[in-house]
Structure 1
Amino acid sequence: MTSERGEPPAASEARRAGAAPGRRLRLPAIPPPLQKYGQYAFLPLLGVAAGLAPEHLGIRWAFAVIVVATYLILRGSENLFGLAVLAATLVALPYYMDQFERSIMFDVALYSLLGIGLNVVVGYAGLLDLGYVAFFATGAYLYALLSAPAYGGGFDTGTSFWLVLPMAMVLAALVGVALGVPVLRLRGDYLAIVTLGFGEIFRIMIKNQTNVTNGPVGVFSIPKPDLLNKELSGPFELYFLVLAGCFIAAFAAERIRDSRVGRAWEAIREDEDVAAGMGVDTTVYKLLAFAIGAAIGGAGGVVYSARQSAVFPDDLNLDISINVLALVIIGGMGNVRGILLGAMLLIGLPEVLRDLSVDFAFVHLDNLGADFRLVIFGAALVAVMVLRPEGLLPSRRRAAEFEQAELIESEVAT
């Protein structure tokens, strides 16, 4: 699909943004043998890390980022063994972490789940949604209200976590369709503005419905889920629950991407008018994207509510939508594997920088990370977007589009 000027979409984006040619960072090509056999190195690496059992968060988290990022960058991960190595790495890491580090791993897994859901809307269908927190809040409050006791602001129905989970996904999907219907004719920035407003209106509505949601006081005393008569009380147990959800959601998302529905989304993303002219029912497929993405967000909200044991409307703000969108863009839109890498960098990097200090020659700076970690983190994000505007691990099509856009910009400049 091309624009009116005969350019691919990525070239049009680069031209509108005023991007200079030749500034995109090219990752070095990986030899085919390393692509095929490089994944076997992760088993001894994992064993070495387990034996060392480092004591500092920075070292431990750096290992996690290096292992998973390197594995994702190696393109030889299409076979079952490669997927098993990745799963083993993610499962084993929490066993060598303390409670705080496990909490960070839970956040990474939760944001990965939300990123997979938003990627369906933004990465596959090309619908810029800044109100994703509304679906997250739907799941969080549904479980809170149905499970919390009356003194905690709930309805004291005692509904099980496992029963609320599918209910929340269905309700969130309906909310997604309710959002999608009035914005069907909107595109680009206009769609982003309307969805942003929807997310804020949803939060304000929850805050003002004191008779139902307990208003700004929130809902507390939310019970933990149980499995086989064992309570999943801490981040360690809940991490594995979210991780399982990530694997299921990622598998489903990739299968949908390669199906007829995924091809319809791709056509809508590239050029909606042309897609409609080719017979694609854009209304149905856009609503389907909103519904599927919202359902995954609702599932994440249920787990979040169970983890926190309390839900407050002010915690469900625009920051969540922005963070999820940022990790999707940084990781690479349209690529599920990139979402995991984006979540690890976006959620884990600020915590790694918390312990950062400089002790070199005459320079002694303690607590440098505590004072400037967000500044350093922001600079790192800007560098990624300048050098790799397509994301660290974009889909093959998006990477090819940026390659072609770079060639076009170079020809125009010369």
Structure 2
Amino acid sequence: MVDLRSRAGRFAIVGLLILLPLLLQQIDDYILHIAIIIGIYAILSLSLNVIVGYAGQFALGHAAFYGIGAYTAALLMLHGSASFWLALAAAAAVTGLFGLLLGSPVIRLRGDYLGIVTLGFGEIVRLIFVNWVDVTRGPMGLPGIPAPSLFGHAFTEKIEFYYLILALVLLTYFIINRIVHSGIGLNLLTIREDETLAQSVGIRPNPYKLLAFSLGACFAGVAGAYWAAYISYVSPDSFRYLDSVNILAMVILGGTASLPGSILGAILLVLAPEILRYMNDYRMMLLGLAIILMMIFKPSGFWGEKHRKYNFYGLAQKGGRK
């Protein structure tokens, strides 16, 4: 039995993910499409977990960063003749900046108040997409977004998009995993549990909260840029309040402050509506009931946060307290 927590176990999982589409492609492109959507939501869930799970900030506007990334990449590729890779980097930078701008005035808010402000931010961004017709074409959206290309080869097959989203998911997981398992991650958890205690031991909460907002927004922008290139069309309908709630549900169901839990939550909430599609009239009701039962009997999520042990001196040498 392979231990999933070992390095060999992780390599086995990555190898399976690389080989899996070669088998799935023989079945149906629809399966690959679902796998791609899971990858997009895995990035969104991982990025939101930095804000909600590690920094303890109740954010309800994550779809806004997703949309900003999508529109930034789409406009650059359509009107700026930028390549997908340049547009991807620009989308990450722009959404990271917006995360910093949003975080600066709201980091002193907590709980429901913070949720209301971020919800308002998400709706403001969506309304800008709808009403700024000269730039976004309003409800008509932006069609004809070019596909990514690599060494002169344009992506046309779903299996190519699958490998691209797989690479982005692995890169996102690697970067976030390194950050949250460093002194920065410990400081974020300390701030989440007791901000007063964190200040008493020399941890300044505001810079870490801003870092969490910027980092989460940055990777949401990456997901948005990929979505724009994959669908080749963006419109305001793709970035609604319910999408933010759906991403938050993935984080909570999978397990807050748990990166594998974020991916598991994305898999469950993308697959569940598809599995229940034959019960179209009742599937959302059944999905809601399942979520309620989950929160009652397993509130920490399917793959909840595990207790981590730290060596104080080793952490201090890495600059854990700043």
TM-score higher than 0.5: yes
Contact 1:106 1:236 in 2 (8 A): no
Residue 248 of structure 2 corresponds to residue 325 of structure 1: yes
Provide structure 2 residue ranges, at least 5 long, that are not aligned to the other structure: 309-322
Q: Distance in 1 between matches of 2:280 and 2:181?
A: 44
Q: Distance in 1 between matches of 2:239 and 2:86?
A: 23
Q: In the TM superposition, what is the alpha-carbon distance from 1:293 to its structure 2 partner?
A: 0.5
Aligned partner (choices 211, 214, 220) of residue 143 of structure 2: 220
Q: In the TM superposition, what is the alpha-carbon distance from 1:319 to its structure 2 partner?
A: 1.8
Counterpart residue number, 1:78: 5
Aligned partner (choices 187, 196, 205) of residue 128 of structure 2: 205
Counterpart residue number, 1:406: none
Q: Distance in 2 between matches of 1:176 and 1:123?
A: 16
Counterpart residue number, 2:262: 339
Counterpart residue number, 1:352: 275
Residue 300 of structure 2 corresponds to residue 390 of structure 1: yes
Counterpart residue number, 1:129: 59
Residue 18 of structure 2 corresponds to residue 91 of structure 1: yes
Q: Distance in 2 between matches of 1:237 and 1:321?
A: 28
Q: Distance in 1 between matches of 2:116 and 2:289?
A: 26
> Is the deviation greater in 175-184 or in 254-263?
254-263
Secondary structure of the 2:280 match is helix
Deviation sequence 1:224-252 (CA, Å, 0-9, x none):
00112222234322121111111111111
Aligned residues: 305
Counterpart residue number, 2:311: none
Counterpart residue number, 2:319: none
Q: In the TM superposition, what is the alpha-carbon distance from 1:137 to its structure 2 partner?
A: 0.9
AA in 1 matched with 2:170: F
Q: In the TM superposition, what is the alpha-carbon distance from 1:96 to its structure 2 partner?
A: 2.9
AA in 2 matched with 1:108: I
Contact 2:294 2:301 in 1 (8 A): yes
Q: In the TM superposition, what is the alpha-carbon distance from 1:172 to its structure 2 partner?
A: 0.5
Aligned partner (choices 278, 282, 306) of residue 229 of structure 2: 306
Counterpart residue number, 1:103: 33
Provide structure 1 residue ranges, at least 5 long, that are not aligned to the other structure: 1-37, 40-75, 149-154, 356-368, 399-414
Q: In the TM superposition, what is the alpha-carbon distance from 1:282 to its structure 2 partner?
A: 1.1
Deviation sequence 1:305-328 (CA, Å, 0-9, x none):
001111111221112211111011
Contact 1:116 1:250 in 2 (8 A): yes
Q: In the TM superposition, what is the alpha-carbon distance from 1:350 to its structure 2 partner?
A: 1.3
Counterpart residue number, 1:410: none
Q: Distance in 1 between matches of 2:171 and 2:237?
A: 30
Q: Distance in 2 between matches of 1:345 and 1:215?
A: 33
Secondary structure of the 1:256 match is helix
Q: Distance in 2 between matches of 1:185 and 1:233?
A: 46
Q: Distance in 1 between matches of 2:179 and 2:104?
A: 22
Contact 1:276 1:282 in 2 (8 A): yes
AA in 1 matched with 2:57: L
Counterpart residue number, 2:106: 183
Contact 1:113 1:242 in 2 (8 A): no
Q: In the TM superposition, what is the alpha-carbon distance from 1:78 to its structure 2 partner?
A: 2.6
Q: In the TM superposition, what is the alpha-carbon distance from 1:256 to its structure 2 partner?
A: 0.9
**Where do residues 242-321 of structure 1 align in structure 2 (5 Å cutoff)?**
242-321=165-244
**Larger Rg, first or second structure (1 or 2):** 1
Counterpart residue number, 1:363: none
**CA separation of 1:353/1:95 partners in 2, compared to 1, >3 Å: closer, same or farther?**
farther
**Where do residues 19-98 of structure 1 align in structure 2 (5 Å cutoff)?**
38-39=1-2, 76-97=3-24, 98=28
Counterpart residue number, 1:371: 281
Runs of 4+ off more than 3 Å: none
Q: Distance in 1 between matches of 2:284 and 2:139?
A: 29
Contact 2:73 2:90 in 1 (8 A): no
Contact 1:118 1:132 in 2 (8 A): yes
